[in-house]
Structure 1
Amino acid sequence: MSAEGLERQTRSYLSNNIPQIQEHGGFFEIQDVDEKAGEVTVAIGGACSGCGIAPMTMKAIRHRLPEELDGISKVNVVRAGGPRAAVMPTKTEEMEEMDEYEDYSPPF
């Protein structure tokens, strides 16, 4: 599948299956697509950075996209930069390292 096709599939999946990102004031953007490797990089930012379930959302994206979408074998989830950057990136980093999030599967 082409890079454009993978990007379209990824955007559609996130909008339809993890709407909490945008409903809660966050956003996602597809930063990179490597169609040969089947790798997609998704950035999240805005309110996601201060959200207590952001690490779970990131984990869900990493695990579910390759399971649900043909042509995608790996997903990298990063924090957005620039004017739409995370508002509390250090807090999100701390949360990602917490053991409590290791085995948790979010309800979406």
Structure 2
Amino acid sequence: MSARNLERQTRSFLSNEVPQIQQHGGSFEIRDVDEENGRVTVAIGGACSGCGIAPMTMKAIRRRLPEEVDDLAEVEVVRAGGPRAAVMPSVTDEMEDMEEYEDYDPPF
């Protein structure tokens, strides 16, 4: 599959199957598409940068996106940083390691 098709299918999945990102003031950006290795890098930002359940959303995207997009083998989901980040990166890194997120299965 071409990089363009991987990006299109990824964008469609995120827009249609994970509408909570945009409904809650978050955003996503497809940062990189590696068609040769079937890898896509997605950054979530906006309100997601400081959201307490963002680690769960990221985990769900990593797990579910390859099931939905043809020829996609791996997804890297990162938080968008910069001046619009709502909390410090060190805090969000700690949140991602919390046990509470281990077995969470969001509804999307």
Under TM normalisation by the shorter chain, which class is it?
A: over 0.9
What TM-score do you get using the length of structure 1 for normalisation?
0.92
1:47-95: CA deviations, max 9, x gaps?
Answer: 1022121011000110000111111010000111345x43213332121
Bigger drift between 13-22 and 94-103 goes to 94-103
For residues 107 and 76 of structure 1, the distance between their equivalents in structure 2, rounded to whole angstroms, comes to 20
Instruction: Please state how far the C-alpha of 1:103 moved relative to its aligned partner.
Output: 1.5
1:51 corresponds to which residue?
A: 51
Q: Which residue identity does 1:35 align to in structure 2?
A: E
Mapping 1:1-108, distance limit 5 Å: 1-82=1-82, 85-88=84-87, 89-108=89-108
Q: Does the 8 Å contact 1:55/1:95 carry over to 2?
A: yes
For residues 92 and 16 of structure 1, the distance between their equivalents in structure 2, rounded to whole angstroms, comes to 26
* RMSD over equivalenced CA pairs, Å: 1.2
Q: Which residue identity does 1:72 align to in structure 2?
A: L
- Consecutive aligned runs of 4 or more in structure 1 exceeding 6 Å deviation: none
1:2-42: CA deviations, max 9, x gaps?
Answer: 10110010001000000000110110000000001000000
